[in-house]
Structure 1
Amino acid sequence: MPDFTVTVAHDADETVIAAAGELDMSTCPKVAEAIAALPAGNTSLRLDLSGISFMDSMGLNLLLTLRRRLEDSGGRLVLTGVHQQPSGLLRLTGAYSLFDITEAADNLAGSGR
């Protein structure tokens, strides 16, 4: 199984979770663990998918569940760096328009804040 990594960075306004590898049935629990550890009251989450080369239906379900959870608590989910295959899956299922998606991940964790 290829390596899969999840990194988390917090600042005053936002949490950034960056994942790299394939987001599938075997790796979704690692992202779910990181999400479960979000600080209380943190209403903005940026999920950097620039390292995700493949996403299956379990990854899609994770994103939809996370989106609903954040919206129900008045929060906001932003996806960044969505590559061709995950983007294609989001479009194929009609879920693309449900997410706030930005292209660049330049200003994410590690930018000197």
Structure 2
Amino acid sequence: MNDIPEAAVQPSARLSITRASHADAEVLTAAGEIDASTIPLLSEALSGASTATAGGARTVLDLSAVTFMDSTGINALLTGHRAAEEAGGWLRLAGLDGPVWRVVELVGVHHVLSCHPSVAEALDA
């Protein structure tokens, strides 16, 4: 895997996102809470990822350190998924657990987005 140093996307008090390139994909790692007040940061990160990867937007979003996500997060994930597909790529989710997995499962996003236990598995899928 050819990694470049991680770069932080402007963190808020309740959400931080780091970005790292892995071969032909970008990995975004979110930590904290995803809700109406932090959604601009996630949306910006997903939007940037959809234009940053050559040959199509290939992004893994690691949610293992996210402790809360509401419906605004679901909307951002679906918007990011749609943008990635339109650019000829994909958005895969990794590390969903506890309350975040519950929200994703409850609204059926796991039927639309590719969900994986780890970043490594998402990159290999």
Q: What does residue 40 of structure 2 align with?
A: 29
Answer yes or no: is the 8 Å Cα contact 1:50–1:105 preserved in 2: no
Q: Which has the higher contact order (CA 8 A, sep 6+)?
A: 1
1:14 to 22, 25, 31: 25
Question: Match for residue 4 of structure 2?
Answer: none
TM-score under structure 1 normalisation? 0.84
TM-score where L is the length of structure 2: 0.76
Q: Relative to 1, partners in 2 of residues 1:12 and 1:61: Cα closer, same or farther, differing over 3 Å? A: same
Describe the SS at the equivalent of 1:37: helix
**What is the aligned length?**
108
Give identity over the alignment, percent: 34
Q: Could you list the per-position Cα deviations for residues 30-68 of structure 1 after superposition, in whole angstroms to 9, with x for gaps in the alignment? A: 112222323153421000000111100000000011011
Q: Check the 8 A contact 2:26/2:59 in 1, yes or no.
A: yes
What value does the CA root-mean-square deviation take over the aligned residues? Answer: 2.1
Is contact 1:6–1:18 with CA below 8 Å preserved after alignment?
yes
- Structure 1: unaligned runs, 5 residues or longer: 109-113
Which whole-Å deviations, capped at 9, do the CAs of 1:67-99 have from their partners, x for residues lacking one? 111112211111000012111111211222111
Query: Is the contact between residue 25 and residue 53 of structure 2 (CA under 8 Å) also seen in structure 1?
Result: no
In structure 2, the residue matched to 1:71 is 85
Say whether residues 1:55 and 2:66 are aligned partners.
no
Unmatched 5+ stretches in structure 2 = 1-11
